[in-house]
Structures are given as C-alpha cells and as structure tokens.
Amino acid sequence: MFQFIFSVSIILIFFSKTTLGGDNCLVTDYDQIETALQTCKNIVIDSIIVPAKRELTLNIRDGTNLTFRGNISFEKEFWKGPLVRISGSNFYMRGEEGSVFDGNGPLYWDGLGTWGKTNKPKFMKINVHNATMENINLRNCPVACVVIKGSDNLTIRNWVLDLLDGDEGVAPPNKFGHNTDGFTIGSETNNLLIEDTTVYNQDDCVSITNGENITIRNIFCHGSHGLSINGEGKIVKNVLITDSVITNAQNGIHVKTHLGSPPGLIQNVTYKDIKILDSKSYGVRIHQNYKNLSPGHSMDDPPENSVKIYDLNFINIFGNVQNGAIPVYILCADEGCFDWTWEGVRLYGARSNNCTGYTPEGFSC
C-alpha cells in the first residue's frame, strides 16, 4: 500500500495507514506500481508478487529514488519475459539489506535452457541513461539474468546473482540451469561500470556483445562460462576488465567471434589482474569459429575473419586449470587478429597451450 501527501491535503491513494511525507510512496501491491512511479520521487516497493506472464515494468522518472524491500517474486508461466523491465534516466535504485528478486528458476530448469521445449523468461532488461543501481540481489534466474541494452552512463554496484541452486550436482538430475548468463551487454551500450559484484551461474558471467567505454571491476564469478567478449558482427571497443576472480568456470576468459557473422570489430580490450582457478575446459579461450550450439555439440569449423580482433591486451593473468583442460587456446583466422600485447600470463595445467593462426607479443605457446 502507499500514500502520499500534497502540501495542502493528505490523499490516501490506496488503503494504507503508513504515514509517509512529501513525495514518498510505499508500494505493497503490484497494481500500485505504475501510479507510484508517475506520482512520487521516493518510492519503496515492498514484498510484492508479480502475476504470471506480467512484467514488473519500471519506467522511472528523472530524480527518482527507488528502493526494493523484502522478496520480489514472480508467479510461474512459460513465456519469454522479461520478468523485469527497467527504463528511464537520472535516477537512483537500490535494494535494502535482505531484499531479493526471486525468479523461481527451479520451476523452469531442465538442463537445456533456451534449447528446451518450453519458453523460459529472461529475468531483467535494462535500458537507462545516467543512473546508478546498487545492492540488488537476484536469485535463480530461469535463463538470462540481466540484459543491458542501449544504455549510457550506467553504474551497477554491489549486485549478487545467486544461481548456485542450478549447479549440476546441486540441482536434481536434468533439472539444472543452462543459458543463465549473468550480465549481457549490447545494443550500443556505452559508458558502463559494473563493480563489486558476485555471480554464481551456469553460462557467461559477463558477455559484452556491443558497446564502448565499458569497465568491469572487482567481480567474482563462479561456475560460469567466463568473462566474455562476444563478437556478433557489431563493435566492441575500449573495454577494461580488471581485479577479478573466476573459479570453476568452463572458460576463465572467453573471446569469441561468430561464424557467418557480418563484419564487426573487437578493439582495445584489456584484461588485467585476473585470477583464474580450476577452469574446467580452458583458462583462456579465444577463437574465431564460435557457433551457438545446443549442449554436446563441438566447434570444429575453420575460423573466419569477419569480426577482427585488434589490441587485445592481457596483463597479469594467473592461476590454473583442471586436469584435461588447456591453459591458453587461440584460434585466429588469416588476417583476423592484430596487435595483441600480453604481459605476465601465467596459467598452469597438465596440457600445453595451443595457438593457431596468431601468437600474441610477449607470450609463447
């Protein structure tokens, strides 16, 4: 419930007895949200349930302070989502301690993700400008957790994406998470900072597909497919990924360009001070023959150079891979990779590094 107070009179919008002053609203029911967003600048959304096949649509006005409290949950429905859609400019959003968005992933997971027979909703889509979002906790995304599209000057700080329940060996057989990407960044997203954040999931921890001037700092990834650059025929430029830890991932660092992609560019991407522990398949995997395939299929096609990779810089990348994994794997097409500089890349495992088509300056395969 919420109410707000004009300078002249007190107007009870819903049946709330909560006393709030000025431009403040307390929301405890899904149907109150739109009015609150249009009316108030200081909004608390407290423990709501979003009806099945409905979005939590947050079109946030300039100058708004939006706070989440308690459990934000979503009734089950097999559809594409998203469960949450956030837009707007010049606002601040935060979660109170103990608050959580719960996607009820175990009700959807089948080990197949988007390859399964039923639709599963993406969790959250963000398209904002000049905003800060802090202290947000997401739990058990059905598939992709956070998709950031067309955003500019956005800071995401101190988020937790917790999908440990979806790990194989934790979830029941054939009921684990798949395609549960943490942060997917694209559609010309520029001037983005993600920092001080933790991701437990079963696909890319972070995947950058299109954008410029992006910094990923102090992120902890567990069980993922790594910190990824995903070349799909667009531009990824001026990216810094630094001071981060990746544990028990399929790939620690993953730079991939897609077969059959239109022309694109990856340029001036720096990975710095990255610890990689116990990667299952690759410590570093860079390849120009990626295909988005269902589980169990291999990628053995020859590489292509439609998306060129320039100025890929690695500084102080260290750690280990599990037995059977390759510490560093590079597969570049002819005229596909240029001007990489690597310093202090120290990844250890039983197998040898494998470089085909290109060897970075400062590194020996």
Catalytic residue of the set 162, 181, 203, 204? 203
250 DSSP assignment:
S
CA 187 to centroid of chain Cα atoms: 14
254 catalytic, yes or no?
no
Active-site residue, selected from the candidate residues 225, 254, 258, 287: 225
Q: Which residues pair with 186 in a beta bridge?
A: 149
- Is residue 359 packed enough to be buried (19+ CB in 10 Å), middle (13-18) or exposed (0-12)? middle
DSSP secondary structure string, 279-345? ESSEEEEEEEEE----TT----SPP--SEEEEEEEEEEEEEEE-TT-EEEEEE--TT-EE--EEEEE
From the list 26, 144, 27, 24, the residue with the least C-alpha distance to 84 is 144
Among candidate residues 135, 40, 132, the one with its CA nearest the CA of residue 96: 135
Report the amino acid identity of residue 338: F
Reading phi first (left if > 0) and then psi (alpha if -120 to 50, else beta), residue 268 is in left
Is 225 marked active-site?
yes
Sorted by sequence, the CB contacts under 8 Å of residue 273 that are 6+ apart come out as 242, 243, 244, 315, 316
Which residues belong to the active site? 203, 225
